[in-house]
Amino acid sequence: MRQRLIAPQLAAVVLVSLPAAAQHLLVPMDDAQTDHLKAYGLAYWCLQEPRGYAVQWLLNYRSGAFLLPATQDTGAQAAAMGIAVTPVGDGELQAIYATIDQENMEKVVLERAPRVAVYIPPDKEPWDDAVTLALAYAEIPYDKLWDTEILAGRLREYDWLHLHHEDFTGQFGKLWWPFRHAPWYIRQVHTAQSAAQEAGYPSVQAHKCAVAKTIREYVRSGGFLFVMCLAVDTLDIALAADGIDIVPPQIDGTPIDADARARLDFSKTFGFKGFRLVVDPMEREFSDIDVPPRVVDTSSKGEVFELFEFSAKQDPILTMLTQDHTGVVHDFLGQTTAFNRATLKDSVIVMASMPNAGPAKYMHGDYGEGTFTLYGGHDPEDYAHVVGEEPTDLSFHKHSPGYRLILNNILFPAAKRTPRKT
């Protein structure tokens, strides 16, 4: 694991229409905050050029508060975004620092706005992406990339990449049985097959595997990867099955080669090992990585998952990724909902799980010079989001703890890397 170097460097500021003693603006992230999600956008706005203000992230202080320079434009931007801020003078700041020094807290300087990309198809699909919803609501800019751009080397332009519900195995989400007659599904299959052929690959599986390997090299070279829902397990399945045909020749229940499972190479994967493939295309599961709920319902019965607490001074990365104003978060389903602990690599760190050491929900790991974070489920504010349902309106969920975990990951690359203290 790596942690971040605290490099206090504050831009010169001009104070206008602020108390004379105010040198900083504190953005509380506890229950005093009026819009938790947009607060991340304010921090990102400060980091963007031409401003380039340094932002301090006060880990575990008031649920992960941000400290901004008190300039006329930061105050005006906070007001425009509806974000609660408190002016802080030098005396108050020293008291905050003293508390941080004595408690399980840490201050981390965010240095520059990370360049954000989302892997998303050019055609509209009958479902939404929680990360693009979060980015749009928080007013954080991002670019869309698809297979052509990734294979052309565009990833080197970005610090952070998100994958959501994409199927990297070439099985079209294993949605053949319920949606085989749906126009969007037929169009999706045709588009994927045509794209593979045009790119010079013999199959969709081979095409998607090439994309998966390019993403793996991006992370190995220092990229930050954030993965949710179906992409979590299909990415590793595709990497482990490189060169092994795991897609039936017809979507009719024909099983694949019986020893394909035994020939999977788990040394090529990010976070999972020893998993067993579900080879029947009539089954929605891809492998035993996913731990679905016993009974799938469209409404939650009070299911939750629990965030773990880490040492802010020894493990600031894990602490950054788990900043929240609650330690218990409402669960939400996805085509991949939670992770079978028996399939986790030893190097992966679980940051949240279902109660009583149940299946993992949120995990982090290193790969080469980069990192990957895996988050189960589809939409943190829609327990069982179904195909064709309207996107979640985050203006009704501005305090969502599940969406805060997503936004933690977006700001994470803004901090400077340094070796662990332990």
pLDDT tens track for 355-370: 998 999 999 999 999 9
Give SS3 for 245: coil
Q: Which of 26-35, 281-290, 308-317, 355-364 has the lowest mean pLDDT?
A: 281-290
Q: How confident is the model at residue 95 (pLDDT cuts 50, 70, 90)?
A: very high
Cα Rg of the chain, angstroms: 22
Q: How far is CA 141 from CA 81, 82, 309, 355, 410, in A?
A: 15, 19, 30, 35, 11
Q: pLDDT at position 417, please?
A: 59
Give dist(CA 343, CA 29) in Å, integer: 35
Q: Which of 34-48, 124-138, 244-258, 290-304 has the lowest mean pLDDT?
A: 244-258
Asked whether the predicted pLDDT for residue 66 surpasses 70, the reply is: yes
Whether domain 116-292+333-391 has CATH 3.40.50? yes
Asked whether the predicted pLDDT for residue 245 surpasses 90, the reply is: no
Q: How confident is the model at residue 422 (pLDDT cuts 50, 70, 90)?
A: very low
Asked whether the predicted pLDDT for residue 416 surpasses 90, the reply is: no
Q: Which of 234-238, 247-251, 265-269, 273-277 has the lowest mean pLDDT?
A: 247-251
**339 neighbors 373 (Cβ within 8 angstroms):** no
What angle is formed at CA 167 by the lines to CA 161 and CA 170, rounded to 5 degrees?
Answer: 130
Q: How confident is the model at residue 256 (pLDDT cuts 50, 70, 90)?
A: low
Residue range 329-344: average pLDDT?
94
Type and span of the H or E element at 3: strand 2-4
Q: Name the region of 24 (left: φ>0; alpha: ψ -120 to 50; beta: rest).
A: beta
Residue range 238-252: average pLDDT?
78
Q: pLDDT at position 282, please?
A: 77
Query: Which residue is associated with the tokens 């240095």?
Result: 111
Question: pTM of the entire structure?
Answer: 0.90
Residue range 30-50: average pLDDT?
97
With pLDDT > 70 as the criterion, what percentage of the chain qualifies?
86
Residue range 227-241: average pLDDT?
95
User: β-strand 106-110 against 65-69: which pairing, if any?
Assistant: unpaired
Q: How far is CA 207 from CA 55, 151, 202, 362, in A?
A: 41, 10, 8, 28
Residue spans per domain, the chain:
2-110, 116-292+333-391
Give dist(CA 179, CA 174) in Å, integer: 9
Asked whether the predicted pLDDT for residue 411 surpasses 70, the reply is: yes
Give dist(CA 255, CA 274) in Å, integer: 20
Q: Which of 15-19, 256-260, 405-409 has the lowest mean pLDDT?
A: 15-19
Asked whether the predicted pLDDT for residue 158 surpasses 50, the reply is: yes
Mean pLDDT of the chain: 88
Cβ burial of 79 (10 Å; 0-12, 13-18, 19+) is exposed
Q: pLDDT at position 126, please?
A: 53
Closest CA relative to residue 383, chosen from 337, 319, 323, 341 = 337
Asked whether the predicted pLDDT for residue 11 surpasses 50, the reply is: no
- Calculate helix-pair angle for 36-47, 130-138, nearest 10 degrees: 70
Q: pLDDT at position 175, please?
A: 80
Q: pLDDT at position 20, please?
A: 52
Closest CA relative to residue 232, chosen from 343, 395, 121 = 343
Q: pLDDT at position 16, please?
A: 34
Asked whether the predicted pLDDT for residue 14 surpasses 80, the reply is: no
Q: Give the N- to C-terminal CA distance of the chain in Å, as an integer.
A: 9
Helices (H), 172-271: 176-179, 183-198, 204-220, 230-240
Asked whether the predicted pLDDT for residue 4 surpasses 80, the reply is: no
